[in-house]
Structure 1
């Protein structure tokens, strides 16, 4: 089975990183599944990210080290080429990406989008708890709409319940793309 790239996307505050991080330890020992680490020019690190300075990011991009890159909310993000070429028996690569790069990625890789969404009230509450944005920035994020390509297969997870419920849905989706080895 060829690698399938699972593109995890959705609005800020929908819970993408929380769901991925809840599943990471449960799936870490499964050689069929690989969590790609993106590079980001952010101060606070998440397990799925490698922090780099702006000059280091620009150098990595100029040297062709990024398969895809994008800017969002004043930060630069990238998906290193090496993260899309894992060793071993990997069948599924999971990558958290912006909705704006899904068309470019899916044009080059067999992809499936897992769109994490939540109600505006849940997103607003999560963004306030994160304490990284001002109230007007939160409202701007809530009003941001990005159309997703219709030709890319997609599973939507409505993350208004518990993290455990959303993580179970995510794992179930991931396992649809694996076969016994």
Structure 2
């Protein structure tokens, strides 16, 4: 059986990490689902990330340990090759990625995109709560549009309601790609 690679993408502040983190405990006991961890040169860590220094990131990239890498908002991100390999009974691998690398990933792996979106007002409020950037930087983020390839199958989750509602939609989407053993 082949794995399905589910690429979670969307604008900053749409709630990708929050939705993934809310689903992680709901799906933790399901051996068919694996949450890939990405490497990032960030100060604060979330459950889906491995923090590394810039020199370590550059070494991993030079060694070919990263299947894909990208930069966004002054940080370097990478998806380690080993995170995309089948693990036991795994049927679905979930990876949080940038919209900009989806074409490259889908050229090598059959992928499915779960696009997390939210209204500009919700995104603005979430980015302001993070308190990481100035208001003009937030407006730049809101104006940034990245088109996704039309040929990639996709589900969009509009995250303007509660986190529980969005997490339930995400979980339902993920479970569509699993089969009983």
Q: Distance in 1 between matches of 2:17 and 2:86?
A: 21
Does 2:63 match 1:66? no
Q: Which residue of 2 is the match for residue 32 of structure 1?
A: 32
Matched position secondary structure for 1:89? coil
CA drift of 1:86 comes to: 3.6
Q: Distance in 2 between matches of 1:166 and 1:137?
A: 26
Q: Distance in 1 between matches of 2:133 and 2:48?
A: 21
Contact persistence 1:34–1:86 (CA under 8 A): no
Q: Which residue of 2 is the match for residue 104 of structure 1?
A: 104
The total of aligned residue pairs comes to 181
Please give the residue correspondences for 1:1-150 in structure 2 after superposition, counting only pairs within 5 Å: 1-150=1-150
Q: Distance in 2 between matches of 1:19 and 1:133?
A: 22
CA drift of 1:2 comes to: 1.1
Which ranges in structure 2 are unaligned for 5 or more consecutive residues? none
Q: What is the TM-score when the length of structure 2 is the normalising length?
A: 0.99
Contact persistence 1:8–1:94 (CA under 8 A): yes
Q: Which range moves more in the overlay, 78-87 or 114-123?
A: 78-87
Does 2:158 match 1:153? no
Runs of 4+ in structure 1 over 3 Å off: none
Deviations, residues 109-164 of structure 1 (Å, cap 9, x unaligned) = 11100000000000000000011111111000000000000010000000000000
Q: What is the TM-score when the length of structure 1 is the normalising length?
A: 0.99
